[in-house]
């Protein structure tokens, strides 16, 4: 077999890349080791930046997003017994976030690619990447071989793409955090119209949602925590303790139908290119979910990669391909800092660090009382415009 771009991974990065390339008349084949049902129901992030929403709408895969997505014009920072709204409509006019589950984005992209005759292959075994440092790279899987001009590694942090790069080529930066997130989905109407980020002495909590009937919650827990230690009653009791800290707020409870513990880490591998292999999304970088940047960075990566490949196929110029890693990493490192900052601002660290505790409260007071500080949070949260970080 032969195609122009071989894509490893059918997550949002790989699927969106395949779709955007198709719109430019560039062929691709997507290889995914998991089954379609698993991929379409894998619970992940749900906060889309303004630029991500615009990208999906412009690519004609945003109809359901516009119908069902929840557009938010602000978030609440809750601490010290009070709630403080960060008003996007005032601080970054015309820009907002949309709450729409990552698995829904994946469903929309799969449907679009299959409707267009896209070549998506699920449950593919033993994918391997070869001859990446030549102009004739190829992929093998099972007993088959796929020749291509370029390979896009969109297979996540634990995928095969990044480890294929020879030792010594990449510089890897990593930070592990001394806590994790316990995330749940519950069949209960959200208790607030916008996301609530709560900082308490008991630890961080996040009130989010997926639809008018489904709520999403996160609790800061110990690193390596076993989800079996958290029966439903304990989860609701702890969420109430961390969220019912302002007068008049009462947390609605309901059936919990999904729960999992997510480790917190920051990671960047650079450069995001080796020969004809280009990394995108989680295969190149991971951010703690506090800043809601993971999916959005993947979209930014594949926008740049699509533009670069279109230039190469259009006039043979490799300038954008050569600049791909630098351009991506500028935005990646901005998002890394923002995600680290939000994490350190809102989570409880060592209980015997009263100095750090006071610094957190001081900065929270600053962010919630200064329009300039709040605007910095807001513009990073809704996403910096494309082009501004390239």
pLDDT in tens, 247-258: 999 999 999 999
Q: Which of 22, 72, 207, 285 is catalytic?
A: 72
Cβ neighbours of 376 (radius 10 Å):
15
Q: Name the β-bridge partners of 183.
A: 218, 260
Residue 190 designated active-site: no
pLDDT at 136: 97
8 Å CB contact between 183 and 222 = no
8 Å CB contact between 190 and 212 = yes
Tell me how far apart the alpha carbons of residues 57 and 71 are, in angstroms, rounded to a whole number: 14
3-state helix, strand, coil in the chain (%, to 5): 40, 25, 35
Tell me how far apart the alpha carbons of residues 307 and 303 are, in angstroms, rounded to a whole number: 6
pLDDT at 296: 97
Give mean pLDDT, residues 212-237.
Answer: 96
pLDDT at 389: 59
The pTM for the full model equals 0.95
In tens, the pLDDT along 311-349 reads 999 999 999 999 999 999 999 999 999 999 999 999 998
pLDDT at 46: 87
Q: What confidence category does residue 351 fall into, taking pLDDT thresholds of 50, 70 and 90?
A: confident
Give mean pLDDT, residues 41-67.
Answer: 93
pLDDT at 204: 98
pLDDT of residue 151 exceeding 70, the answer is: yes
8 Å CB contact between 334 and 46 = no
Tell me how far apart the alpha carbons of residues 113 and 119 are, in angstroms, rounded to a whole number: 8
The chain-wide mean pLDDT, for the chain, equals 96
Q: Which of 197, 274, 278, 313 is catalytic?
A: 197
pLDDT of residue 353 exceeding 90, the answer is: no
Secondary structure of 117-139 in the HEC alphabet? CCEEECCCCCCEEECCCCCCCEE
Q: Where are the beta strands (DSSP E) in the chain?
A: 5-8, 28-31, 47-48, 70-72, 74-79, 82-87, 97-99, 119-121, 128-130, 138-141, 144-147, 150-153, 171-187, 196-200, 203-209, 215-222, 255-270, 273-274, 277-279, 285-286
- Picking from 190, 182, 181, the residue whose alpha carbon sits closest to that of residue 254 is 190
**What 3-state DSSP class applies to 207?**
strand
In tens, the pLDDT along 108-148 reads 999 999 999 999 999 999 999 999 999 999 999 999 999 99
pLDDT of residue 164 exceeding 80, the answer is: yes
What's the chain's Rg over C-alpha atoms?
A: 21
Cβ neighbours of 271 (radius 10 Å):
17
pLDDT of residue 390 exceeding 70, the answer is: no
In tens, the pLDDT along 192-224 reads 999 999 999 999 999 999 999 999 999 999 999
Residue 189 designated active-site: no
Domains and CATH numbers, the chain: 5-46+101-170+271-348 (3.50.50.60), 174-264 (3.30.9.10)
Tokens encoding 385? 């415009």
Taking CA atoms, 258 is separated from 64, 289, 379, in Å, by: 23, 18, 32
Residue 158 designated active-site: no
Q: Which of 207, 289, 313, 324 is catalytic?
A: 289
Tell me how far apart the alpha carbons of residues 206 and 343 are, in angstroms, rounded to a whole number: 12
pLDDT at 387: 82
Kind of pairing between the strands at 5-8 and 150-153: parallel
Burial readout 227-265 (b: 16 or more C-beta within 10 A, e: otherwise)? eeebeeeebbebbeebbebeeeeebebeebeebebeebe
pLDDT at 217: 97
Asked if omega into 271 is within 30° of 0 (cis), the reply is: yes
Residue 355 designated active-site: no
Q: What is the DSSP string of 47-105?
A: EE-HHHHHHHHHTT--HHHHHH-EEESEEEEEETTEEEEEEHHHHSTT--EEE--HHHH
pLDDT over 90 percentage in the chain: 95
Cβ neighbours of 67 (radius 10 Å):
7
Q: Which of 293, 313, 324, 347 is catalytic?
A: 293
Residue 347 designated active-site: no
pLDDT of residue 99 exceeding 80, the answer is: yes
């Amino acid at each position: 077999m032969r195609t122009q771009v071989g894509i490893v991974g059918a997550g949002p990065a790989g699927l969106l890349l395949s779709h955007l390339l198709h719109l430019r008349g560039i062929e691709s084949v997507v290889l995914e080791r998991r089954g379609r049902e698993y991929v379409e129901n894998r619970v992940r992030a749900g906060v889309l930046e303004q630029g991500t929403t615009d990208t999906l709408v412009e690519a004609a895969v945003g109809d359901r997003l516009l119908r069902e997505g929840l557009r938010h014009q602000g978030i609440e920072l809750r601490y010290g017994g009070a709630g403080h709204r960060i008003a996007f409509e005032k601080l970054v006019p015309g820009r907002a976030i949309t709450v729409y589950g990552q698995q829904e984005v994946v469903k929309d992209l799969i449907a679009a690619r299959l409707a267009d005759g896209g070549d998506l292959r699920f449950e593919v075994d033993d994918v391997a990447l070869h001859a990446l440092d030549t102009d004739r790279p190829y992929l093998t899987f099972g007993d088959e071989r796929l020749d291509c001009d370029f390979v896009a590694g969109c297979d996540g942090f634990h995928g095969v793409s990044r480890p294929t790069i020879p030792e010594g080529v990449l510089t890897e930066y990593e930070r592990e955090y001394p806590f994790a997130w316990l995330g749940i989905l519950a069949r209960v109407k959200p208790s607030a119209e916008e996301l609530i980020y709560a900082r308490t002495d008991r630890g961080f909590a996040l009130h989010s949602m997926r639809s008018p009937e489904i709520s999403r919650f996160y609790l800061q827990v110990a690193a390596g925590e076993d989800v079996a230690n958290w029966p439903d009653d304990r989860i609701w009791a702890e969420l109430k303790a961390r969220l019912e800290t302002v007068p008049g707020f009462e947390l609605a409870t309901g059936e919990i139908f999904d729960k999992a513990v997510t480790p917190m880490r920051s990671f960047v591998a650079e450069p995001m290119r080796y020969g004809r292999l280009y990394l995108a999304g989680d295969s190149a970088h991971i951010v703690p979910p506090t800043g809601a940047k993971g999916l959005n960075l993947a979209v930014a990566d594949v926008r740049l990669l699509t533009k670069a490949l279109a230039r190469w196929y259009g006039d043979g110029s490799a300038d954008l391909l050569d600049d791909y890693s630098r351009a991506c990493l500028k935005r990646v490192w901005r998002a890394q800092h923002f995600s680290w900052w939000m994490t350190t601002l809102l989570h409880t660290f060592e209980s015997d660090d009263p100095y750090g505790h006071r610094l957190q409260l001081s900065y929270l007071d600053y962010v919630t009382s200064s329009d300039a500080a709040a605007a910095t949070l807001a513009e990073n949260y809704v996403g910096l415009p494309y082009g501004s970080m390239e």
